[in-house]
Each structure stands twice: as C-alpha cells, then as structure tokens.
Amino acid sequence: MSVKDEKNNVVLNDLSPIPLYMQLKKDISEKIMNGTLPYGSKLPSEIEIAHQYGISRNTVRTSLCKLADEGFLVRKQGKGTFVRHRIVSENISTNISFTEACEANDIVPDHKLLTFALQPADELDIQELKLKPGDKVIFIERVLLGDNVPVILDRMYLHPKYVSLMNEDLEGVSLYSTLSRLFGITMHRSHKTIQLGYADEREAMYLQIKKGDPILLMTETIFDENGDPIHHTKQTILGDRYKYKVY
C-alpha cells in the first residue's frame, strides 16, 4: 500500500525498507521547511493524521515525538501539536548582531522601533558608559523579530558621542550596520549577564506571551577596539526562540 500527495508523488510506502514512521517524519519535516505547514500552525490530531495516511496512531505518535525532539514541533498539553518557530542560535562567546545571528540561521531579521530618544543618564548609564552626572544617553527600544515573530525586547542605551545617530531613520535597517557606517565602529568585546526571569505586563504585550511566562534577562555592555563603551543593553529574550551555545 502507498499514500500519494496532491502531485501524485508517493509519500508513504509500506513495501519500502524505510520504517513508516520515518517516512511520515520526512514528509512532515519537508512540509515545514517548504512552508506548506507554516510556523505556529496546529497539526491535525494523531487520529486524523493516521486516517489521512492510512497508518496506525502509534506510528503517527512515534513520528511526532521524533519531530518534537528535533525541534520541528512543540506538543502542548491539552492544546495539540504545533509547528515550532525556528530558533535563532548564537555562540555566547562571539559578538555578533541580532541581524547576523538570524542570517546565520537562515531566518529573516526585522524589528519594530518603539522608542528613539535622547534622555538623562541614570546611575547605571553613568557607570557602564563612563559618563558624568548631567550627561544624556540615546535610548533605543525595539522588538527584534525573526521570521516576523517576536524574539527579543531590546532596550539599548548608547553613549552620547553618537548623538548624530538621532538624525537617522532606524526603521528597517540594521542598527550596527548604521553605527559602523556613521562612526566606523565595530563590536570588539562585551560583558554579558544572563538570568532567568518572568515577563511583566509590558514585556508580555510586546513579545506576545502571557504575564509571568518564563524569559531570559540579559544585560550586556559592548566595547569598541579601544576598550571604550559603545552602549549597554537590557534584553528580554524568549528562550524557546533564541538560544546561546557555549563552546
């Protein structure tokens, strides 16, 4: 017995030496990769998939479990099985931008600009950016998106020597590319701190999650090649959409 798709291609064949659960797993993963099953979409139930392919429910369950283990699917108790959003992966020891991290994972980067303003420096700004009381900082708040899905709520506090950045339109452009173009600076090293937290109401709203959901909180200070601080940042990160690797 064989099952064919809409183009009459054989999808499952019980005469094949390849186990049926692996054939089903291959078919579903290919549909995810080519967009037939969009990210975030809900799969039919195990019974419905079993009926569609003419196989047992146990075979379907095995395939879905394997796909969940490999990060293609997420199974939510009482809700069903969903196509998982692709995860942005970054080596924690490197200093790359969100745009570069997305592109390295074949994910389309974007952002939504929330705030772009010059404001008085607080005590933390003075400490991290080596400022004086009364100085100002450039505050940039954005939602960073991967494949049009919220990943990070980013709050950046830039050194005031980059104040001419205020004349730029930051919509739809890489912030680090703009800084490099205007000032010739590059990220040379950074200090990072990461801890577990829980989303407050505002974070939940912009990241499209629930208040109290677990999140990663990262604070970071970026330095140029001369050891001078460029900015410090507070990020609220969705751990199921962005992960750090340690080598």
Confidence of residue 166 (pLDDT cuts 50, 70, 90): very high
The pLDDT assigned to 3 comes to 57
Domain that residue 225 falls in: 88-245
**Same domain, yes or no: 230 and 109:** yes
The pLDDT assigned to 25 comes to 94
Of the spans 86-100, 150-164, 231-245, which averages the highest pLDDT?
Answer: 150-164
**Residue 227 exposed, middle or buried by CB count within 10 Å (0-12, 13-18, 19+):** exposed
- Does pLDDT of 90 surpass 70? yes
Cβ-based neighbour number of residue 172 at 10 Å: 8
42-48-51-55 Cα dihedral, nearest 10 degrees = 60
- Does pLDDT of 178 surpass 70? yes
The more confidently predicted of residues 208 and 92 is 208
**Same domain, yes or no: 76 and 93:** no
Average pLDDT value for residue range 179-187: 90
**Same domain, yes or no: 7 and 79:** yes
**Same domain, yes or no: 62 and 119:** no
- Does pLDDT of 246 surpass 80? no
CATH code for position 66: 1.10.10.10
CATH code for position 144: 3.40.1410.10
**Same domain, yes or no: 112 and 75:** no
**Among residues 83, 98, 130, which one ends one of the domains?**
83
**Count of structural domains, the chain:** 2
Confidence of residue 100 (pLDDT cuts 50, 70, 90): confident
The pLDDT assigned to 98 comes to 85
Q: Structure pTM?
A: 0.74
The pLDDT assigned to 174 comes to 85
**Same domain, yes or no: 151 and 205:** yes
**Same domain, yes or no: 101 and 220:** yes
Helix (H) or strand (E) holding 63: helix 57-69
The more confidently predicted of residues 127 and 54 is 127
**Same domain, yes or no: 144 and 162:** yes
The closest of 139, 13, 210, 78 to 3, measured between CA atoms, is: 13
Q: Which residue has the tokens 């146990």?
A: 58
Max CA separation in the chain (angstroms)? 78
In angstroms, the CA 151 to CA 235 distance is 10
